[in-house]
Amino acid sequence: QSVKVRVPGTIANCGPGFDAVGMAGTIYNYLELTLTEQPGVYIEVKGEGSGTIPDNEHNIAYQAVQAVFRKVGAEPCGVILRMENSIPLARGLGSSAAAIVAGLTAANALTGSNLSSEELLEMATQIEGHPDNVAPALFGGATISVAELGKVRCLRIDPAAIFTMVVAVPEFGLSTKAARQVLPKTVPHRDAVFNVGRAAMLVGALCTGNLAYLRYVLDDRLHQPYRQRLIPGMQRVFAAAVAQGALGAVISGAGPCLVAFTQHAPAAVGEAMVHAFAENGVKAHYLLLDLDR
Ligand code: HSE
Protein backbone atom coordinates (compact mmCIF):
# COMPACT_ATOMS: atom_id res chain seq x y z
CA GLN A 1 0.00 0.00 0.00
CA SER A 2 1.61 3.20 -1.15
CA VAL A 3 0.64 6.77 -2.01
CA LYS A 4 2.59 9.78 -3.28
CA VAL A 5 1.55 13.37 -2.49
CA ARG A 6 2.81 16.76 -3.65
CA VAL A 7 2.71 19.79 -1.34
CA PRO A 8 3.64 23.41 -2.22
CA GLY A 9 5.94 25.75 -0.39
CA THR A 10 4.20 28.73 1.20
CA ILE A 11 4.64 32.40 1.92
CA ALA A 12 3.03 33.26 5.23
CA ASN A 13 2.07 36.66 6.69
CA CYS A 14 2.45 38.46 3.32
CA GLY A 15 3.33 41.62 5.23
CA PRO A 16 0.44 42.80 7.41
CA GLY A 17 -1.40 39.46 7.68
CA PHE A 18 0.63 38.06 10.58
CA ASP A 19 -0.36 34.46 11.40
CA ALA A 20 -3.39 34.75 9.10
CA VAL A 21 -2.63 35.29 5.40
CA GLY A 22 -0.64 32.81 3.32
CA MET A 23 0.04 31.92 -0.30
CA ALA A 24 1.11 28.69 -1.95
CA GLY A 25 3.90 28.96 -4.52
CA THR A 26 4.94 26.79 -7.44
CA ILE A 27 7.71 24.98 -5.58
CA TYR A 28 7.01 21.51 -4.27
CA ASN A 29 8.01 18.70 -1.95
CA TYR A 30 6.95 15.13 -2.76
CA LEU A 31 6.33 12.43 -0.20
CA GLU A 32 5.75 8.75 -0.90
CA LEU A 33 4.27 6.82 2.02
CA THR A 34 4.31 3.02 2.04
CA LEU A 35 2.78 0.93 4.80
CA THR A 36 4.37 -2.46 5.48
CA GLU A 37 3.36 -5.40 7.65
CA GLN A 38 6.90 -5.59 8.98
CA PRO A 39 7.11 -3.01 11.81
CA GLY A 40 9.80 -0.33 11.66
CA VAL A 41 10.58 3.10 10.22
CA TYR A 42 12.60 3.78 7.07
CA ILE A 43 12.98 7.38 5.90
CA GLU A 44 14.83 8.55 2.79
CA VAL A 45 15.34 12.28 2.08
CA LYS A 46 16.48 13.56 -1.31
CA GLY A 47 17.12 17.19 -2.24
CA GLU A 48 16.67 19.94 0.36
CA GLY A 49 17.37 18.71 3.87
CA SER A 50 19.11 15.49 2.84
CA GLY A 51 21.62 14.80 5.61
CA THR A 52 19.96 17.31 7.98
CA ILE A 53 16.32 16.27 8.29
CA PRO A 54 15.99 13.47 10.89
CA ASP A 55 15.46 10.03 9.33
CA ASN A 56 13.93 8.56 12.48
CA GLU A 57 10.92 9.03 14.78
CA HIS A 58 11.83 12.73 15.15
CA ASN A 59 11.01 13.34 11.47
CA ILE A 60 8.06 15.76 11.41
CA ALA A 61 6.35 14.11 8.40
CA TYR A 62 6.59 10.77 10.23
CA GLN A 63 5.06 12.37 13.33
CA ALA A 64 2.19 13.69 11.19
CA VAL A 65 1.63 10.18 9.80
CA GLN A 66 1.49 8.82 13.34
CA ALA A 67 -0.95 11.56 14.38
CA VAL A 68 -3.37 10.35 11.69
CA PHE A 69 -2.92 6.71 12.73
CA ARG A 70 -3.75 7.62 16.34
CA LYS A 71 -6.73 9.75 15.35
CA VAL A 72 -8.34 7.09 13.14
CA GLY A 73 -7.29 4.17 15.34
CA ALA A 74 -5.24 2.47 12.60
CA GLU A 75 -3.42 -0.76 13.39
CA PRO A 76 0.30 -0.28 14.09
CA CYS A 77 2.44 -1.17 11.06
CA GLY A 78 5.77 -0.39 9.43
CA VAL A 79 6.27 2.90 7.60
CA ILE A 80 8.50 3.81 4.67
CA LEU A 81 8.76 7.52 3.81
CA ARG A 82 10.50 8.74 0.68
CA MET A 83 10.84 12.53 0.53
CA GLU A 84 11.99 14.54 -2.50
CA ASN A 85 12.30 18.14 -1.37
CA SER A 86 12.69 21.36 -3.36
CA ILE A 87 11.52 23.80 -0.68
CA PRO A 88 14.57 25.36 1.01
CA LEU A 89 14.82 24.49 4.69
CA ALA A 90 14.51 27.04 7.53
CA ARG A 91 14.19 29.95 5.09
CA GLY A 92 10.57 31.00 5.67
CA LEU A 93 9.05 29.07 2.77
CA GLY A 94 7.02 26.65 4.84
CA SER A 95 9.20 23.55 4.63
CA SER A 96 7.98 22.20 7.97
CA ALA A 97 4.34 22.96 7.10
CA ALA A 98 4.82 21.09 3.80
CA ALA A 99 6.24 18.07 5.65
CA ILE A 100 3.35 18.06 8.12
CA VAL A 101 0.67 18.44 5.43
CA ALA A 102 2.34 15.77 3.30
CA GLY A 103 2.43 13.30 6.21
CA LEU A 104 -1.18 14.00 7.17
CA THR A 105 -2.67 13.82 3.67
CA ALA A 106 -0.70 10.71 2.67
CA ALA A 107 -1.63 8.86 5.87
CA ASN A 108 -5.25 9.94 5.55
CA ALA A 109 -5.39 8.63 1.97
CA LEU A 110 -3.93 5.25 3.00
CA THR A 111 -6.28 4.83 5.95
CA GLY A 112 -9.50 5.35 4.01
CA SER A 113 -9.74 9.17 3.84
CA ASN A 114 -11.72 9.34 7.05
CA LEU A 115 -10.54 12.80 8.01
CA SER A 116 -12.04 15.89 6.40
CA SER A 117 -9.80 18.69 5.13
CA GLU A 118 -10.99 20.81 8.10
CA GLU A 119 -9.80 18.11 10.50
CA LEU A 120 -6.48 17.86 8.67
CA LEU A 121 -6.09 21.64 8.88
CA GLU A 122 -6.73 21.59 12.62
CA MET A 123 -4.25 18.78 13.16
CA ALA A 124 -1.64 20.53 11.02
CA THR A 125 -2.15 23.81 12.87
CA GLN A 126 -1.79 22.06 16.20
CA ILE A 127 1.55 20.53 15.15
CA GLU A 128 2.86 23.70 13.48
CA GLY A 129 1.55 26.20 16.05
CA HIS A 130 -0.03 28.66 13.60
CA PRO A 131 -2.24 28.18 10.51
CA ASP A 132 -0.84 30.54 7.88
CA ASN A 133 1.62 28.09 6.27
CA VAL A 134 -0.30 24.84 6.68
CA ALA A 135 -3.53 26.28 5.20
CA PRO A 136 -2.12 27.22 1.77
CA ALA A 137 0.02 24.05 1.83
CA LEU A 138 -3.20 22.05 2.18
CA PHE A 139 -5.56 24.05 -0.04
CA GLY A 140 -3.30 25.91 -2.49
CA GLY A 141 -4.00 29.47 -3.68
CA ALA A 142 -4.12 32.28 -1.16
CA THR A 143 -5.69 31.62 2.21
CA ILE A 144 -6.87 33.56 5.22
CA SER A 145 -7.08 31.51 8.38
CA VAL A 146 -8.06 32.20 11.95
CA ALA A 147 -7.44 29.80 14.82
CA GLU A 148 -8.89 29.75 18.28
CA LEU A 149 -9.10 27.04 20.93
CA GLY A 150 -8.16 24.30 18.48
CA LYS A 151 -10.72 25.38 15.86
CA VAL A 152 -9.37 26.73 12.59
CA ARG A 153 -11.46 28.51 9.96
CA CYS A 154 -9.92 29.00 6.57
CA LEU A 155 -11.06 30.80 3.45
CA ARG A 156 -9.24 30.07 0.19
CA ILE A 157 -9.25 32.83 -2.39
CA ASP A 158 -8.22 32.77 -5.99
CA PRO A 159 -6.67 36.19 -6.66
CA ALA A 160 -8.26 37.88 -9.65
CA ALA A 161 -4.93 38.94 -11.20
CA ILE A 162 -1.66 37.27 -12.15
CA PHE A 163 1.55 38.21 -10.37
CA THR A 164 4.96 36.72 -9.68
CA MET A 165 6.46 36.20 -6.25
CA VAL A 166 10.18 36.93 -6.45
CA VAL A 167 11.84 35.25 -3.49
CA ALA A 168 15.34 36.24 -2.44
CA VAL A 169 16.77 33.27 -0.56
CA PRO A 170 19.73 34.14 1.69
CA GLU A 171 22.41 31.60 2.41
CA PHE A 172 21.74 31.57 6.16
CA GLY A 173 18.83 29.82 7.86
CA LEU A 174 16.60 31.13 10.64
CA SER A 175 14.34 29.06 12.85
CA THR A 176 10.76 30.18 13.27
CA LYS A 177 11.25 29.75 17.02
CA ALA A 178 14.11 32.26 17.06
CA ALA A 179 12.15 34.65 14.81
CA ARG A 180 9.12 34.49 17.14
CA GLN A 181 11.25 35.04 20.22
CA VAL A 182 12.12 38.58 19.11
CA LEU A 183 8.44 39.58 18.96
CA PRO A 184 7.04 41.71 21.79
CA LYS A 185 4.29 40.41 24.09
CA THR A 186 2.18 43.52 23.49
CA VAL A 187 2.02 46.14 20.75
CA PRO A 188 0.71 49.72 20.78
CA HIS A 189 -2.95 50.03 19.81
CA ARG A 190 -2.02 52.34 16.89
CA ASP A 191 0.22 49.59 15.45
CA ALA A 192 -2.62 47.09 15.60
CA VAL A 193 -4.85 49.63 13.81
CA PHE A 194 -2.11 50.19 11.22
CA ASN A 195 -2.12 46.47 10.43
CA VAL A 196 -5.87 45.83 10.48
CA GLY A 197 -6.58 48.23 7.61
CA ARG A 198 -3.66 46.98 5.55
CA ALA A 199 -4.45 43.29 6.04
CA ALA A 200 -8.07 43.91 5.07
CA MET A 201 -7.08 45.92 1.99
CA LEU A 202 -4.49 43.30 1.00
CA VAL A 203 -7.21 40.66 0.86
CA GLY A 204 -9.54 43.07 -0.95
CA ALA A 205 -6.86 43.88 -3.52
CA LEU A 206 -6.25 40.17 -4.17
CA CYS A 207 -9.96 39.37 -4.47
CA THR A 208 -10.74 42.23 -6.83
CA GLY A 209 -7.52 42.04 -8.83
CA ASN A 210 -6.72 45.69 -7.99
CA LEU A 211 -3.10 44.79 -7.36
CA ALA A 212 -1.98 48.42 -7.59
CA TYR A 213 -3.27 48.67 -4.01
CA LEU A 214 -0.48 46.36 -2.89
CA ARG A 215 1.77 49.41 -3.13
CA TYR A 216 0.03 50.87 -0.06
CA VAL A 217 -0.69 47.82 2.07
CA LEU A 218 2.34 45.57 2.36
CA ASP A 219 3.88 47.46 5.27
CA ASP A 220 3.61 45.93 8.72
CA ARG A 221 4.12 46.83 12.36
CA LEU A 222 3.50 43.54 14.12
CA HIS A 223 6.54 41.47 13.18
CA GLN A 224 8.78 42.93 10.47
CA PRO A 225 10.22 45.83 12.52
CA TYR A 226 11.29 43.35 15.21
CA ARG A 227 12.71 40.79 12.79
CA GLN A 228 14.60 43.32 10.75
CA ARG A 229 17.76 42.92 12.85
CA LEU A 230 17.82 39.18 12.06
CA ILE A 231 17.91 39.88 8.30
CA PRO A 232 20.81 42.18 7.35
CA GLY A 233 19.88 44.66 4.62
CA MET A 234 16.15 43.93 4.73
CA GLN A 235 15.00 47.49 4.00
CA ARG A 236 17.55 47.90 1.22
CA VAL A 237 16.40 44.66 -0.42
CA PHE A 238 12.79 45.89 -0.24
CA ALA A 239 13.79 49.23 -1.77
CA ALA A 240 15.78 47.53 -4.54
CA ALA A 241 12.74 45.43 -5.50
CA VAL A 242 10.45 48.46 -5.61
CA ALA A 243 13.00 50.44 -7.65
CA GLN A 244 12.73 47.70 -10.31
CA GLY A 245 8.95 48.08 -10.46
CA ALA A 246 7.78 45.56 -7.83
CA LEU A 247 4.51 46.42 -6.07
CA GLY A 248 6.18 45.87 -2.71
CA ALA A 249 8.18 43.38 -0.69
CA VAL A 250 7.84 41.63 2.65
CA ILE A 251 9.45 38.98 4.82
CA SER A 252 8.34 35.51 3.70
CA GLY A 253 6.88 33.88 6.80
CA ALA A 254 9.33 34.25 9.66
CA GLY A 255 12.20 34.87 7.21
CA PRO A 256 14.96 35.09 6.31
CA CYS A 257 13.62 34.90 2.70
CA LEU A 258 12.28 38.20 1.40
CA VAL A 259 9.57 38.17 -1.25
CA ALA A 260 8.57 40.86 -3.73
CA PHE A 261 5.24 40.85 -5.57
CA THR A 262 5.50 42.04 -9.14
CA GLN A 263 3.67 42.10 -12.44
CA HIS A 264 6.71 43.26 -14.42
CA ALA A 265 10.32 42.21 -15.00
CA PRO A 266 10.56 39.54 -12.27
CA ALA A 267 14.14 38.56 -13.16
CA ALA A 268 15.31 42.18 -12.87
CA VAL A 269 13.58 42.42 -9.48
CA GLY A 270 15.28 39.19 -8.35
CA GLU A 271 18.71 40.33 -9.48
CA ALA A 272 18.30 43.68 -7.72
CA MET A 273 17.27 41.93 -4.49
CA VAL A 274 20.24 39.55 -4.62
CA HIS A 275 22.55 42.49 -5.34
CA ALA A 276 21.18 44.47 -2.38
CA PHE A 277 21.69 41.46 -0.10
CA ALA A 278 25.28 41.16 -1.37
CA GLU A 279 25.90 44.84 -0.53
CA ASN A 280 25.05 43.90 3.04
CA GLY A 281 27.40 40.95 3.04
CA VAL A 282 24.69 38.31 2.52
CA LYS A 283 25.00 35.75 -0.26
CA ALA A 284 21.62 34.96 -1.79
CA HIS A 285 19.89 33.62 -4.88
CA TYR A 286 16.37 34.19 -6.13
CA LEU A 287 13.39 32.06 -7.13
CA LEU A 288 10.47 33.08 -9.34
CA LEU A 289 7.24 31.56 -8.11
CA ASP A 290 3.71 31.79 -9.41
CA LEU A 291 0.73 31.27 -7.17
CA ASP A 292 -0.11 27.56 -6.95
CA ARG A 293 -3.76 27.64 -8.07
N1 HSE B 1 3.22 33.50 10.91
C2 HSE B 1 4.39 32.77 11.25
C3 HSE B 1 5.44 33.71 11.81
C4 HSE B 1 4.92 32.07 10.04
O5 HSE B 1 5.64 34.76 11.21
O6 HSE B 1 6.05 33.41 12.82
C7 HSE B 1 6.20 31.34 10.31
O8 HSE B 1 6.27 30.17 9.63
Report pLDDT digits (tens) over 50-98. Answer: 999 999 999 999 999 999 999 999 987 899 999 999 999 999 999 999 9
Give the side-chain half-sphere CA count within 13 A for 127.
Answer: 28
Nearest ligand 1 atom, CA 19: 1
| pLDDT (0 to 100) of residue 76 | 79
Query: In this structure, what are the phi and psi dihedrals at residue 109, rounded to the nearest 5 degrees?
Result: -60, -40
The reply to whether omega before 131 is within 30° of 0 (cis) is: no
Report pLDDT digits (tens) over 233-266. Answer: 999 999 999 999 999 999 999 999 999 999 999 9
CA of 288 to the centre of ligand 1 (A): 21
Contact in structure between 47 and 85 (CB atoms under 8 Å):
yes
CA of 180 to the centre of ligand 1 (A): 7
Residues at the binding site are 88-98
CA of 147 to the centre of ligand 1 (A): 14
Give the side-chain half-sphere CA count within 13 A for 131.
Answer: 26
Mutate to test the pocket of ligand 1, among 21, 100, 130 (most ligand atoms within 8 A of CB): 130
- What is d(CA 103, CA 62) in angstroms, rounded to the nearest whole number? 6
Which helix (DSSP H) or strand (DSSP E) does residue 34 occupy? strand 21-36
- Residue 130 near ligand 1, beta carbon < 6 Å: yes
Nearest ligand 1 atom, CA 20: 1
- What is d(CA 98, CA 28) in angstroms, rounded to the nearest whole number? 8
CA of 188 to the centre of ligand 1 (A): 20
- What is d(CA 262, CA 254) in angstroms, rounded to the nearest whole number? 21
- Residue 256 near ligand 1, beta carbon < 6 Å: no
The answer to whether the complex's ipTM is over 0.95 is yes
| Beta partners for residue 21, in sequence order | 144
CA of 14 to the centre of ligand 1 (A): 10
- Residue 13 near ligand 1, beta carbon < 6 Å: yes
| pLDDT (0 to 100) of residue 225 | 98
- Residue 48 near ligand 1, beta carbon < 6 Å: no
- What is d(CA 90, CA 14) in angstroms, rounded to the nearest whole number? 17
- What is d(CA 10, CA 233) in angstroms, rounded to the nearest whole number? 23
- What is d(CA 251, CA 238) in angstroms, rounded to the nearest whole number? 9
Q: Tell which phi-psi region holds residue 44, choosing left (phi > 0), alpha (psi between -120 and 50) or beta.
A: beta
Q: What is the DSSP string of 190-254?
A: HHHHHHHHHHHHHHHHHHHT-GGGHHHH---SSSHHHHGGGSTTHHHHHHHHHHTT-SEEEE-TT
The ranges of the chain with pLDDT < 50 are none
| pLDDT (0 to 100) of residue 75 | 86
| pLDDT (0 to 100) of residue 150 | 83
DSSP state for residue 69 in the 8-state scheme: H
